[in-house]
A and B are shown apart, each in its own frame.
Chain A
Amino acid sequence: MNSELYGLMVEFSTPQALIAGAKAARAHGYTRMDAFAPFPVEGLSHALGQGRSWLPLVFLLGGIAGGGGGYFMQWYAAVISYPLNVGGRPLHSWPSFIPVTFELTILIAALSGVLALFLSMKLPKPHHPLFNVPEFERATDDRFFLCLESADPLFALESARQFLEELCPLRIVEVPQ
């Protein structure tokens, strides 16, 4: 319908108004929307109906891979690849393999977790339609925004504007594509 429009955005001055707005929009049936805040607002993601993130699983798998791989590497080096007889002590001297196993668990868990974080956020993405709106600069300072996307099946400019006006925002802005 509105191919030149990314969406319709409203501005609030408090996080409470933003949460209330997000809940109302969801109750109204909108599904494609996002909210923007200068700090993490408790319960906002839930109000928007966003699911839980699978990031913790990536951290866990990274940790298992790092720890398991690290231990295997040391066992392989000490027992198979380069066995070294130190006064008849066992080759598979597992207590002395623990520190490196631990460090690699943490290292690979953190690396894979942070990589997954940025991939899942689709960042880096230096430009976004929202940056076309000059007022949006305050989303990283002291204002709170809710944007209904035009890709939403329910989205129609007039009805969306009417709905958003009921939320008593500071202003309503059209976001060009």
Chain B
Amino acid sequence: MNDPNLGYPMQLLEPGVTYASATEEVASIPLRRIRSGWWWLAFGASFFLLSVLMAAISWLFYRGVGVWGINIPVGWGFAIINFVWWIGIGHAGTLISAILLLLAQPWRNSINRLAEAMTIFAVLCAAMFPLLHLGRPWVFYFLLPYPDTMGLWPQFRSPLVWDAFAVATYFTVSLLYWYTGLVPDLATLRDREKSPWMRRFYGMVALGWRGSAAHWERHQTAYRLLAGLATPLVLSVHSVVSLDFAVGMLPGWHSTIFPPYFVAGAIYSGFAMVLTLLLPLRSIFKLHSLITPRHLNNMACVMFVSGLMVGYGYLMETLMQLTSNDPFEYAAATDRLWGHWAPIFWAVLACNVFIPQVLWSRRVRTNEWMLFAVSIVINLGMWLERLMIVVCSLARDFISSSWGTYWPTAWDWATFIGSGGLFLTLFMLFIRLAPAIAISDVRELIAQKKHPAS
């Protein structure tokens, strides 16, 4: 039944969804291993890519960072591009889960768990890259304040140290938030699982949750407080990442617009990745009664609005460079607009600003295939944006005699593509072992629908 004003069904749940049917729909994915053909196919492909990553990392550890295309002047290359890209993707989960929880947006309830899991896996992929890029990854703990026999400390005035703290905190808090929310749903699996070994496994991870009213009360208090803590945290993480660039003096980096512009970009790419994962999952596991066109439309709208903010960021950044009266900033802008870097710049604009304009159309926002295609384009565009930011400024700084160029090697590509394998392998394991949709949150929606609050 379509809503006359909206043109798509208004409800968050299809009619006829009951407590038991929602439990069955979500729990059957891990419990009865439904559609395992699809799952094994996807898992096999992901695991193959993970093996590529392992090979690339082994070779890197054996030979050193020289196997990558990095050199002076472009010392950052793929490792930092991928770091910023993955950590940006890792922002949507907390945004969907925490900010929409605090804003009392019930549509988050069918998609939050999936988005949180995506966040954790994306942050893991992201955190790997700076460590690999260290050159001597075995001394990564130099980043942390620890009792050092030489009496040394990390340089707390450096954004790179802030970054280590921000990413580590973000990962830890996201994990706590995800697990705290997951415990009641793991108990649901424990009580439905037939195989004694898996029952024991779920019994252990569910910690003996029994749904006591006193427990729910505390659980909800803690969950909301964690959401309150995660909300400023998620905004701080990409701001700190952007300061890695903005505190540097290079033309194209040294700009106060970077923190908000990075945060908008993070939300943009994060929502694009949520859609990229959610749409196939919804079709394969037939989750249409819990993830309705309204969810797709809402996600597309948030993605689109953050995309417009990113577009505004591009506009302002370029305008400020052109009017700054600084010849180096001016040169950086013209290099992008019609100079050496024009192909990258216009590709970024096409992917992130021009093509997503199709989202003005409601038909596109509720059409699975179109939305999937747009989300892929945005993922690509955001990766290119990170490439543009990292490479263009490093390769062409103040003195033309120190200019250089950058070409990735096969090992760069293998590490990048392999990190996708790590991400997807973890994701596939997650949907096979844990409930991909927060069942207890969906039950709350059902209860509200049955007995609207008086």
**Is B truly associated with A?**
yes
The smallest beta-carbon distance between B297 and chain A, in angstroms, is 26
Segment at the A interface, from B155-163, B302-310, B357-365, B402-410: B155-163
Across-interface contacts of A74 in B (CB, < 8 A)? 156
Closest A residue to B163 using CB positions? A99
> What's the Cα separation between A134 and B377 when bound, in Å?
51
Closest B residue to A89 using CB positions? B157
Q: Does B203 make an interface contact (CB < 8 A)?
A: yes
Segment at the B interface, from A106-114, A153-161, A164-172: A106-114
Q: Does B66 make an interface contact (CB < 8 A)?
A: no
Across-interface contacts of A102 in B (CB, < 8 A)? 232, 236
> What's the Cα separation between A174 and B176 when bound, in Å?
37
**Choice from B188, B213, B240 contacting A44 with Cβ under 8 Å:** B213
Q: Does A139 make an interface contact (CB < 8 A)?
A: yes
Across-interface contacts of B156 in A (CB, < 8 A)? 74, 77-78, 96-97, 100
Across-interface contacts of A138 in B (CB, < 8 A)? 191
Interface contact A53-B229, CB-CB below 8 Å: no
The smallest beta-carbon distance between A55 and chain B, in angstroms, is 5
Number of A residues contacting the other chain (C-beta, 8 Å)? 63
Main SS class of interface, A: helix
The smallest beta-carbon distance between B167 and chain A, in angstroms, is 9
Tell me the residues in window 180-235 of chain B with beta carbons closer than 8 Å to chain A beta carbons: 180, 183-184, 187-188, 190-192, 203-204, 207-222, 225-226, 229-230, 232-233
Interface contact B220-A56, CB-CB below 8 Å: no
Interface contact A50-B226, CB-CB below 8 Å: no
A-B pairs with beta carbons under 8 Å apart, 12 shown: A37-B211, A55-B222, A59-B222, A81-B153, A93-B157, A100-B161, A103-B165, A106-B229, A114-B222, A139-B211, A141-B192, A142-B18
Q: Which residues of A contact B (CB under 8 A)?
A: 14-16, 22, 34-42, 44-45, 48, 50, 53, 55-56, 59, 63, 73-74, 77-78, 81-82, 86, 93, 96-97, 99-100, 102-104, 106-107, 109-111, 113-114, 117-118, 120-121, 123-128, 130-131, 136-142
- 3 smallest beta-carbon distances between A and B, as pairs: A142-B19, A124-B207, A77-B153
Q: A37-B213, A82-B152, A126-B204 are in contact. List 17 more A-B contacts (CB 8 A).
A: A39-B184, A39-B447, A45-B217, A55-B218, A77-B154, A78-B157, A86-B157, A102-B236, A107-B172, A110-B177, A114-B226, A121-B214, A121-B215, A121-B219, A124-B208, A139-B210, A140-B191
